[in-house]
């Protein structure tokens, strides 16, 4: 077992395949000693001798220990499984993540334990994890079965799970004759996650505008229609920083030409300039499948896989030459000034009887097969388009439909076509275990109440996206798809818009807080959105939570769903204040909260200083956020805000600083600065003590 970074160990088992997530990671930097200065508990937990391995003609198998009472979390973006203990999960890239089987847009062969460690199996294969539950012939006693199942009167009863039987994790890796196993020390669960994120290269730091509101217009909008709706938002003071163009901007999509559509966008530069003048950053939809009419087709053809998708090439983006061609073309022909980011669609695989993507049996020039490429296409594609922005030093923050291991430094947010609100919340809660980001984006809705509830969730997510790709008008003017596209708007649209505006403004007021949470993701590996178990692995009440999550260090968000106006919330240890009512609750209890359709319940940690910005409609290079700092509870508190230019990679060369906010009952509040921020982004206009006890 080799120590490869502070608290990170590598155990090489058998022969590693040439194409794995670690081998294809974007950021090679390892976390330094001072960044992981927590105790290294791994030696106390288990050593190499407790890790089993065998290879056969069907692949290889790794066995790891699992103790009584230990609970496991992770496995990438999961919509149905949070506590994975006792389950079998399959790490298959799929556009149907709404199952319990493990299928995901971003399956990650990584898990963390409540005992305080993490495990990464470095493979691009569709590995199956048995997380307890396998009983072996040579097991002694351990397994407990009901004496007689014969009396069951339903199949549910008959086949009811008996909880984990075998005390081991078994990983079945097809084809591969070996894997590297990475072990991440704690001492507790969250430090294992942080070590994993830092080992991946640290979390991404989005440009600050990326944390503001985003909107995507109808797929066939040209410049004229886009500008019209974009102007509408400005005229109605509806916050929005990022505007997404869907497939219609290209001459060919499905597959893609990567060429601006001459009728819809006769003068892309003029269009982008007009958008820019209004303060919008433009995001372009695309996928990697390259249409025969694309200028990239000829150059990429010899560097592509042996199967087509929608007639298009599947470029082998693991090849430096393919990536260079792809990025250079995008930099030169596509990403003109004003194009700030991309949406990378369709790079996942499909679990359907008529899939459109390339088959697992595909072969690529790099030697990868289709299975490996499905696992790695998401990350490789993100890397290729990051290269577009590297020369200019501009940061980007895009959307992507597939991810895998080592994703933390990639500034892309996952999304899906499945649309169950509760699934979307679970995805938000699980993504953070494995260095992923997720947006529960809002499309059409069955009721205004559902629209409110969904918008309330999305404003508490990594990317507050309204995805109106099949809606002519914003969904708050008409929630119904057909009527919306027929310009048959809702009579109550003004009131609805007012509520939506307030929710967007809530998001805007939180941007400084969120931006600082992302800075901690970048530097400390701390996930900005996370499941409560991460902060409280010692509290079993958190293990089963499926609909409440932490945002940054101090907010606990408990969304409501259409049809509900009250819910139970488990408050972990400590004291908590409900944001809207300022009511104080002691932690370690389950409470019931009520909230009308216009409000989402969320809680601020007692002892926190929450800086709330005066909302702006969009963020410019010079925006200075005017902050009211809400101080929760008596005593002495401090908080800090990250400050830099908000847009470029200058922070990586030290051009950033922290604004320290202090408050005590006697002296009130004060702000001080440390570091080398190139500008001042925050102005504190006041402190407000909340202490309702």
Residue 270, both tokens = 């003029």
Applying CB under 8 A, among 28, 68, 154, 277 the residue interacting with its own copies is 154
Q: How far is CA 136 from CA 56, 132, 133, 167, 662, in A?
A: 18, 11, 10, 10, 58
Site for its own copies in 387-446 (CB under 8 A): 417
- Which of 91, 503 has the CB closer to its own copies? 91
Nearer to its own copies, 102 or 646 (CB): 102
Residues 444-503 that bind its own copies (CB under 8 A): 470, 481, 485
* Cβ at position 327, least distance to its own copies in Å: 22
Question: Which residue's CB is nearer to its own copies, number 61 or number 641?
Answer: 61
Whole-angstrom Cα distance, residue 110 to residue 78? 12
Q: Give residue for tokens 């109440």.
A: 449
- Residues in binding contact with its own copies, number by CB under 8 A: 77
Site stretch for its own copies (CB under 8 A), options 150-158, 270-278, 546-554, 659-667:
150-158
CB 386 within 8 A of CB 396: yes
| Options 3, 37, 67, 159; binder of its own copies; rule CB under 8 A | 159
Closer CB to its own copies, 128 or 457, in the complex: 128
> Least distance from C-beta 367 to its own copies, angstroms?
10
Q: Which one of 32, 67, 152, 588 is in contact with its own copies (CB under 8 A)?
A: 152
- Residue placing its CB nearer to its own copies in the complex, 65 or 292: 292
Residue 149 makes contact with its own copies by CB under 8 A: yes
Among 26, 38, 53, 254, binds its own copies (CB under 8 A): 254
Q: Which range, of 246-254, 567-575, 631-639, 648-656, touches its own copies by CB under 8 A?
A: 246-254
- The footprint of its own copies on residues 201-240 (CB under 8 A) is 219-220
Instruction: Determine, following the binding rule CB under 8 A, whether residue 360 of this chain makes contact with its own copies.
Output: yes
Q: How many CB atoms lie within 10 A of CB 348?
A: 27
Tell me the two tokens of residue 599: 């409000």
Contacts with its own copies, 284-323, as mask; x by CB under 8 A: -----------------x--xxxxxxxx-x----------
- Is residue 3 at the binding interface for its own copies, with CB under 8 A as the rule? no
Restricted to residues 64-123, the positions that interact with its own copies (CB under 8 A) are 81, 86-89, 100-102
Q: Return the HEC string of 339-393.
A: EEEEEECCCCCCCCCCCCCCCCCCECCCCCEHHHHHHHHHHHHHHHHHHHHCCCC
Q: Which residues contact 253 (CB under 8 A, 6 or more apart)?
A: 247, 285, 286, 287
Determine if 590 is a binding residue for its own copies (CB under 8 A): no
Q: Verify binding: residue 56, its own copies, rule CB under 8 A.
A: yes
Whole-angstrom Cα Rg for the chain:
25
- Is the four-CA dihedral 165, 171, 174, 177 of positive or negative sign? negative
Report the nearest approach of its own copies to the CB of residue 86 (Å).
6
Contact partners, residue 570, CB within 8 Å, separation at least 6: 532, 541, 542, 545, 548, 589, 590
From the list 28, 49, 353, 592, which residue makes contact with its own copies (rule: CB under 8 A)?
A: 353
Dihedral angle sign, alpha carbons of residues 490, 491, 497, 499: negative
Nearer of residues 59 and 118 to its own copies, judged by Cβ: 59
Parallel, antiparallel, or unpaired: how do β-strands 128-131 and 168-174 relate? Answer: antiparallel
- Nearer to its own copies by Cβ, of 286 and 643: the residue is 286
Residue 263 engages its own copies in binding (rule: CB under 8 A):
no
How many residues appear in the chain? Answer: 693
Residue 506's H or E segment, with its range, is helix 493-524
Query: Do 614 and 625 form a contact (C-beta atoms < 8 A)?
Result: yes
CB of 160 to its own copies, least distance (A): 9
Binding residues for its own copies restricted to 119-148, rule: CB under 8 A: 128, 130, 133-139, 143, 145-146, 148
Residue 445 C-beta: closest distance to its own copies, Å? 15
Q: Which of 355, 391, 540, 596 binds its own copies (CB under 8 A)?
A: 355
Buried b / exposed e across 369-393, counting CB within 10 Å, b at 16+? Answer: bbbbbbbbbbbbbbbbbbbbbeeee
- Measured between alpha carbons, how far is residue 289 from residues 71, 302, 320, 347, 357 in Å? 40, 14, 17, 9, 9
Which residues 171-200 are close enough to bind its own copies by CB under 8 A? 172, 174-175, 177
Both structure tokens of 208: 């600050």
Task: Report the residue number, 483 or 676, with the smaller CB distance to its own copies.
Answer: 483
Among 8, 13, 42, 61, binds its own copies (CB under 8 A): 61
């Amino acid at each position: 077992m080799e120590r490869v970074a502070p608290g990170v160990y590598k155990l090489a088992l058998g022969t590693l395949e040439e194409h794995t997530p670690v081998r294809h990671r974007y950021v090679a930097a390892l976390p330094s000693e001072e960044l992981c200065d927590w105790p290294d508990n791994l030696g106390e937990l288990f050593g190499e001798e407790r890790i089993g391995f065998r290879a056969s003609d069907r692949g290889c198998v790794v066995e790891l220990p699992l103790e009584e009472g230990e609970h496991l979390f992770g496995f990438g973006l999961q919509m149905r499984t949070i506590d994975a203990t006792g389950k079998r999960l399959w790490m298959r890239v799929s556009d149907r993540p709404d199952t319990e089987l493990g299928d995901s847009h971003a399956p990650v062969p990584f898990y963390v334990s409540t005992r305080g460690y993490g495990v990464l199996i470095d493979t691009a294969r569709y590995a199956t994890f048995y997380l307890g539950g396998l009983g072996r012939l040579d097991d002694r006693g351990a397994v407990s079965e009901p004496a007689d199942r014969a009396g069951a009167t339903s199949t549910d009863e008959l086949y009811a799970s008996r909880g984990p039987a075998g005390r081991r994790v078994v990983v079945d890796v097809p084809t591969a004759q070996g894997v590297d196993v990475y072990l991440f020390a704690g001492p507790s669960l969250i430090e294992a996650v942080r070590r994993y994120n830092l080992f991946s290269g640290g979390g991404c730091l989005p440009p600050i505008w990326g944390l503001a509101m985003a909107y995507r217009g109808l797929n066939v909008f040209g410049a004229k229609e886009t500008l019209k709706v974009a102007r509408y938002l400005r005229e109605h003071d509806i916050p929005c920083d990022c505007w997404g163009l869907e497939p219609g901007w290209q001459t060919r999509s499905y597959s893609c030409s990567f060429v601006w559509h001459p009728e819809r966008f006769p003068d892309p530069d003029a269009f982008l300039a007009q958008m820019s003048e209004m303060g919008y950053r433009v995001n372009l939809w695309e996928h990697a499948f390259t249409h025969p009419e694309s200028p990239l087709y000829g150059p990429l053809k010899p560097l592509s896989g042996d199967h087509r998708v929608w007639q298009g090439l599947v470029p082998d983006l693991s090849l430096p030459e393919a990536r260079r061609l792809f990025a250079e073309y995008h930099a030169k022909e596509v990403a003109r000034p004003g194009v700030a980011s991309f949406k990378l669609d369709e790079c996942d695989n499909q679990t359907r009887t008529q899939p459109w993507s390339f088959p697992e049996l595909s072969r690529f020039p790099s030697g990868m097969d289709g299975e490996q490429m499905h696992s790695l296409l998401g990350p490789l594609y993100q890397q290729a388009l990051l290269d577009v922005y590297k020369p200019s030093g501009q940061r980007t923050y895009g959307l992507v439909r597939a991810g895998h291991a080592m994703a933390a430094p990639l500034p892309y947010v996952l999304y899906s076509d499945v649309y169950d609100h509760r699934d979307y919340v679970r995805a938000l809660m699980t993504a953070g275990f494995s260095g992923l980001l997720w947006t529960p984006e809002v499309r059409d809705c069955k009721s205004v109440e559902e629209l409110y509830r969904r918008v309330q969730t999305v404003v508490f997510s990594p990317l507050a996206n309204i995805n109106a790709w099949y809606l002519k008008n914003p969904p708050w003017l008409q929630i119904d798809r057909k009527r919306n596209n027929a310009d048959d708007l809702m009579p109550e649209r003004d009131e609805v818009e007012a509520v939506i505006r307030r929710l967007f403004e809530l998001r805007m007021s939180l941007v400084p807080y969120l931006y600082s949470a992302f800075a901690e993701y970048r530097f400390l590996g701390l996930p900005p959105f996370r499941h409560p178990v991460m902060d409280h692995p010692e509290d079993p009440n958190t293990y089963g939570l499926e609909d409440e999550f932490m945002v940054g260090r101090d907010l606990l968000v408990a969304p409501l769903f259409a049809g509900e106006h009250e819910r139970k919330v488990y408050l972990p240890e400590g004291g908590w204040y409900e944001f809207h009512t300022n009511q104080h609750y002691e932690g370690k209890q389950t409470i019931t909260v009520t909230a009308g359709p216009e409000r989402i319940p969320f809680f601020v940690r007692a002892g926190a200083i929450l800086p709330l910005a005066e909302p702006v409609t969009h963020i410019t290079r010079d925006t200075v956020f005017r902050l009211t700092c809400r101080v929760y509870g008596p005593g002495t508190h401090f908080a800090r805000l990250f400050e830099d230019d908000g847009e470029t990679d200058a922070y990586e060369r030290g051009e950033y600083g922290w604004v320290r906010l202090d408050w005590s009952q006697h002296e009130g509040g004060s702000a001080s600065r440390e570091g080398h921020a190139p500008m001042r982004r925050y102005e504190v206009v006041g402190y407000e003590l909340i202490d309702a006890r």
